[in-house]
Structure 1
Amino acid sequence: MIDTDFIKKDYIALFQLAQYFLNIEQGQRIETISRLSEQFGISVGVIQKALKTLESNQFIYLERKGCQGSYLKQINPHQLVTLLNISSLVCVMPLPYTKLYEGLASGLKLQFENIPLYFAHMRGAEARLECLYNGIYDLAVSSHLACEHWLEQDKLEIVMQLGAGSYVQEHGLICRDEPENSLKKIGVDIRSPDQLKLTEWYFAEQEVEIVPITYNNSFSLLKNHIIDGVIWNIGDRNDFKKHHLTFKSLKKNELFNRATEAVILIKKGNEKIKQLFHLYADREMILQHQQLVFNEKIEPSY
């Protein structure tokens, strides 16, 4: 009869060691077998066997220096990843209605050629981040500003910051071509933390009524005089005059920068996804690809 418990322990040891070796630097001294046994809650014999398996299959290369201990000489990261039992990743991000979003999705997709990366598109940063926290998705894209309260509560963590202008070009006030003191009713989509925070900042010294709206109805609500203004992401649009509307850029400050910066997040403590992301994702390559899509030099593919 096959001892299934022993097979299970063997697999757990390989899984734990794969995570361990992906998380330390080459040239670093590794923990002793007894320390690894204690750390993982697995017997010394099983750990020893798992290490031999990794070495014999050339997943890792160790250099033994006698009483000085063993050192990690080299790893085969793509082989180690296969032990993490990740067949695919799902990233939730905004609806791809701008070239920046399309470029970001396409750039990310290109980075994960060895592991399938799929996208779920969802309007509203708060909804996306809640789904990430609840374990529905592996990764999420939002602005830096939108995720701040999740970071403060230690529920999510950023694995990559892409810099100002990587999420949206800029935000501004869209209103009818009328004096600004006529602004009384300001539309806000409650699913957008960015829009709410920027609206509160912009109208901090002016008494206005906040009107709950759906973001994509902003233009029709303005034209029908249901709202007088809305803080809006300019995106790829430049047709405001056609709708008899004006766009006034917001004064750039730190709040503005955080609202325009794209960040990629994981659930706090999800070391497996964190290691995998840092293994494959290259920030500069993602940004270069995004700009090529934005400037219509290449077609996005996601």
Structure 2
Amino acid sequence: MNDFDARFLSRNGLAARQLAVLLLHHEPDTRLPRVRDFAEELGCGNGTVQAALQLLEESGAISTTARGHLGTFLAHSDRTVLWRLSGLGTLLAAMPLPYSRRYEGLATGLRGAFEEAGAPFAVTFMRGAGARTAALLEGKVDLVVLSRFAADQLIGRHPVELMADLGPATYVGAHGMLVRHGVDLDAPGLRVAVDHTSEDLRMLVERAFAGREDIEWREASYMQLHDLFARDEVDATVWNLDEAQHRIGPGVEVRPLGDEVTRELALRNSSAAIICRTDGAKALATIRDTLDLSLVTRLQSDVLKGDRIPSY
């Protein structure tokens, strides 16, 4: 460890790390709070704040300029350096398994947007929004990617907040009714596949077959769909067509969803959302404010069209 690194472990260095978090919220060419205002927020003396600012300038994280009675302005900031010095670390996001090109594109877009915003970013993959949310609440991950519909359900039940909504067709392209060829959907004893680890799919399936008391529910994951249909063990389901297109055989028809309510629910399921813990929202606020969501969708679109190799 060199002398400069050791200085960041001192009292002034600790203040510099705390100050780095605050400065992530400031854009270049904007006036900074007064030294005594920073000191009050950090709970330290004016001299400590001045030494912390000097440490950050020496590190190349920021440069400031004094403009007389107008105050001190932030002339330049390197968000990557500020983030590193802040001690916030690499953001770990939990996403669905990358079994579709859309999810690969989403992971690629998120990595590009977060890194452009100056935040190191990594992805871990978990099946089921419930499992991903549990990891978030346990502090194992910092962010969770899921559908906007699932996010809305979880926000009402857990201390989590919405960080971003990426818009329609960013999470899935579309949902549809999968029906084994020749099956009468009105026939009694219809065998319907459902994945209870997915709140989205469970709600869609239950909505699509609402009022039916003669349904035989069959638990299934997307990996099992092809075999279940091929072995004549299920007759129908509602599924994400990004997943289903490689998992169904020639004997299965894809039909559009029915009523307007179901279609509206499917639309909310198609939008990707990012949630974070409520107690971590303040630290992530600067990233939320500077995250270029259009870059996420642009990179995702490039991957979907085959113009970009997935990178995450």
**TM class by smaller structure:** 0.7 to 0.9
Gaps of 5+ in 2: 1-5
Stretch moving more, 139-148 or 218-227: 218-227
Q: Note closer, same or farther for the CA distance 1:64–1:141 as it changes in structure 2 (3 Å cut).
A: same
- How far 1:27 moved relative to its partner? 4.6
2:184 aligns with one of 179, 186, 193? 179
Residue 136 of structure 1 aligns to a residue in which SS? coil
Q: Note closer, same or farther for the CA distance 1:217–1:49 as it changes in structure 2 (3 Å cut).
A: same
Task: Report 1:7-22 matches (<5 A).
Answer: 7-22=9-24
Q: What is the alpha-carbon distance in structure 2 between the residues aligned to residue 26 and residue 210 of structure 1?
A: 61
Structure 2 residue aligned with 1:296: 306
Q: What is the alpha-carbon distance in structure 2 between the residues aligned to residue 219 and residue 6 of structure 1?
A: 57
Q: Does the Cα contact within 8 Å between 1:190 and 1:212 map onto a contact in 2? A: no
Q: Does the Cα contact within 8 Å between 1:109 and 1:117 map onto a contact in 2? A: yes
Q: What is the alpha-carbon distance in structure 2 between the residues aligned to residue 210 and residue 11 of structure 1?
A: 64
Q: Does the Cα contact within 8 Å between 1:176 and 1:223 map onto a contact in 2? A: no
Q: Does the Cα contact within 8 Å between 1:84 and 1:272 map onto a contact in 2? A: no
The number of residues matched between the two structures is 298
Q: What is the alpha-carbon distance in structure 2 between the residues aligned to residue 85 and residue 167 of structure 1?
A: 31
Task: Report 1:155-234 matches (<5 A).
Answer: 155-177=159-181, 178-182=183-187, 184-209=190-215, 211=217, 213-215=219-221, 216-234=223-241
The C-alpha deviation readout for 1:182-234, integer Å capped at 9, x for no partner, is: 26343221110101111232223433546351312233334444443221111
Residue 83 of structure 1 aligns to a residue in which SS? helix
Q: What is the alpha-carbon distance in structure 1 between the residues aligned to residue 254 and residue 235 of structure 2?
A: 13
Q: Does the Cα contact within 8 Å between 2:154 and 2:160 map onto a contact in 1? A: yes
- How far 1:83 moved relative to its partner? 0.9
Give the AA of the match of 2:12.
Answer: D
Task: Report 1:10-159 matches (<5 A).
Answer: 10-66=12-68, 68-111=70-113, 112=115, 117-153=121-157, 155-159=159-163
Gaps of 5+ in 1: none
Q: TM-score, normalised by structure 1?
A: 0.84
The C-alpha deviation readout for 1:76-126, integer Å capped at 9, x for no partner, is: 322212212245332221111111011112233344387653322111111
Q: Does the Cα contact within 8 Å between 2:143 and 2:276 map onto a contact in 1? A: yes
- How far 1:244 moved relative to its partner? 1.4
Q: What is the alpha-carbon distance in structure 1 between the residues aligned to residue 140 and residue 248 of structure 2?
A: 41
Would you say 1:265 and 2:270 are equivalent positions?
Answer: no
Q: Does the Cα contact within 8 Å between 2:229 and 2:248 map onto a contact in 1? A: no
Give me the identity figure in percent. Answer: 28
Q: Note closer, same or farther for the CA distance 1:237–1:189 as it changes in structure 2 (3 Å cut).
A: closer
The C-alpha deviation readout for 1:224-247, integer Å capped at 9, x for no partner, is: 444432211111654787441222
